[in-house]
Structure 1
Amino acid sequence: MTAIGVDIGGTKIAAGLVVDGAIVRRTRRATPRLGSAAIFDAVAGAVAELRADGPPVTALGIGAPGIVDPVTGTVRSATDTVPGWHGAEVRAELARRTGLPVAVDNDVRAMALAECRLGAARGHDLVLHVSVGTGVGGAFSRGGVPVRGERATAGEIAHLLVPTRGAKPCGCGRDDHLEAVASGPAIAAAYTALAGGEPVELPEVERRMRAGDDRARQAVTAAGALLGRVLSGLVTALDLDAVVVGGGAARLGAALLDPVARALDAETRPPQRRTPVLPALLQRDGPVLGAALLTTAIEGEHR
């Protein structure tokens, strides 16, 4: 397989040239805040950079935020995490700009595909994949295959209700959704509320936490505990075998994941049940590799 995988995030666009399941070249750039056309231009620029003086590329795979129709490649629903993204015709526009066949799916579902084939989900049957970054995303997989559902919403967890008010609203504007308490910006906003002073972003919260700032650790721990409490209902209702956590905030490591696991075990039924909470093995490469893996069917058609 020789394809390009692209992960479109709320703050950055990451892209990689993938040859036989490994990323051999990378590029990234900031996500434009000027609407879908600017994002398409940025993606096309990243693709052109990766194709320059490289092997022939067969197809382009895109992991896109929002509820994505994988057949038409159109974004059915999106929040303001990526302004102007609702209704974006991702497949058509990027095929026109790059001249490549394009496969499109939700970004967390792309991550799930990679973790199923190459990462932490191997050996588990029914898995919830969670991405904690600019927003909070989710995807299910069964038997190593991501599950979409009839309306492509399977695994969407950002708008699950939480028993508290977030320090930063969800991308949809409400402050009682999971994304309002567990996303990277929400953790940073919670720390600012505890510590006072000028607002800081998550990397600075992480730096202060590792330097011994108890308020930074408190903000991270509280987010992890709420995430675990909310997910416990899904674990019980769907009888999940494991939870895989990735995304930018996953770099917080045990400070975030241990509270998730403790809350999950405390709330899940039956009592004394233990559901593994696993860090995404592929980390930042997962969404890019997964996007490239989306093109497998396209490459098969062109052999």
Structure 2
Amino acid sequence: MTHGQERWIGVDIGGTKVAAAVVTSTGEVIESVRAATPAAGKAAVLDTTVALIDQLRAEHTVDGIGVGAPGIIDRAAGRVLFASDILPGWMGAEVRGELEARTSLPVTVDNDVRAMAHGENMIGVGYGRSSVLFVSIGTGIGGALSVNGELRHGAHGTAGELAHLLVPASGAIGCGCGRIDHLEAVASGPAMAAEYASRAGVSVQPLQKVVSLMHSGDPIARAVITDAGELLGRVLAGVATAFDPEVIVIGGGAAQIGPDLLSPLVAAFRLEAMRPIADTAILPAHLGTDAPLVGAALLAAATRTEVSR
């Protein structure tokens, strides 16, 4: 099998879904599958992951597996050191050990947002940038930093993490850690849906239904999404001042809302940030919701390259 023909499986484990895809070494997604994330704990999540991998391997020959997983990851061991209740019972999951034992393939594991960032660094909007702050808005809020195309993990694996930043607001639901005054409690997808329910007195799930209501002219839905975008922009203004990235890249499922969320985010950022930070480019992720899958697969490819040297 030549380098150009190598294929990898990228896996994205999230709070609401587990997705897997066959990805080429150039980042092309050949086939993808997904399933709802089971609520029965880490064993059930890994069972679902293996089932998706087996489904893809029935039709494709692959060289290895890359996994983007929520939480703080011991990358050498492929173990989850810490995880919030975004994925209950996930802490301590032996992702690499379990998957290697059950698939007989090499497995690389990193945090899900860092996987997203790696994909964007390799073939997306992060390519060629001196420094990038990646932000993922989905079931939770995540972040990652890269410098000269290399991910920065920090001393404890949390570099770039944004979920637990204190904000001047209270969410209608708690952050994954339980606090209601963290960014994740106010601006994640479930937080926006919960805020709509609080203001409108009508429970609407998931966030996409709130988005549909906004497009139908519901002023409460529009206010909820606008307020979340503005708060994100204000918070990112402070983060950008601290880290001074060349660009900020916004990804994740909720980011697919598009300009209705991103325009108020950018406007608040420009207003809040000091010069010249206020001029920092803020760009949508080029790879969209495929970014974690592509990034995880390319991380697996990079690991194999390092090992073979």
8 Å Cα contact 2:9/2:53 also seen in 1: yes
Over the matched positions of the two proteins, sequence identity in percent amounts to: 52
Deviations 1:153-179 (A, max 9, x none): 101110000001111110110000000
8 Å Cα contact 2:71/2:83 also seen in 1: yes
Partner of 1:29: 35
Residues in 2 aligned to 1:198 and 1:136: alpha-carbon distance in whole angstroms? 22
Equivalent of 1:166 in 171, 174, 179: 171
Q: Give structure 2 stretches of 5+ with no counterpart.
A: 1-5
Partner of 1:279: 284
Q: 1:44 to 1:236 in 2, by over 3 A?
A: same
Partner of 1:107: 112
Deviations 1:186-208 (A, max 9, x none): 01111112211233320100111
8 Å Cα contact 1:59/1:298 also seen in 2: no
8 Å Cα contact 2:144/2:151 also seen in 1: yes
SS in structure 1 at match of 2:278: coil
8 Å Cα contact 1:62/1:291 also seen in 2: yes
Partner of 2:199: 194
Residues in 1 aligned to 2:264 and 2:203: alpha-carbon distance in whole angstroms? 27
Deviations 1:231-254 (A, max 9, x none): 111111111221111111011101
SS in structure 1 at match of 2:279: coil
Equivalent of 1:231 in 232, 236, 256: 236
Equivalent of 2:262 in 248, 257, 266: 257
Q: 1:99 to 1:182 in 2, by over 3 A?
A: same
Residues in 1 aligned to 2:280 and 2:77: alpha-carbon distance in whole angstroms? 36
Q: Report the CA distance between 1:275 and its aligned residue.
A: 1.5
Partner of 2:46: 40
8 Å Cα contact 1:60/1:292 also seen in 2: yes
Letter in 2 for 1:279: P
Q: TM-score, normalised by structure 1?
A: 0.96
Partner of 2:245: 240
What is the aligned residue count? 302
Partner of 1:157: 162
Letter in 1 for 2:81: R
Q: Report the CA distance between 1:139 and its aligned residue.
A: 0.4
8 Å Cα contact 2:247/2:281 also seen in 1: yes
Q: Report the CA distance between 1:271 and its aligned residue.
A: 6.1
Partner of 1:74: 79
Q: Give structure 1 stretches of 5+ with no counterpart.
A: none
8 Å Cα contact 1:5/1:289 also seen in 2: yes
Residues in 1 aligned to 2:215 and 2:76: alpha-carbon distance in whole angstroms? 44
Q: Report the CA distance between 1:213 and its aligned residue.
A: 1.2
Deviations 1:79-116 (A, max 9, x none): 11101111111111111111111000000000000111
Q: TM-score, normalised by structure 2?
A: 0.94
8 Å Cα contact 1:114/1:287 also seen in 2: yes
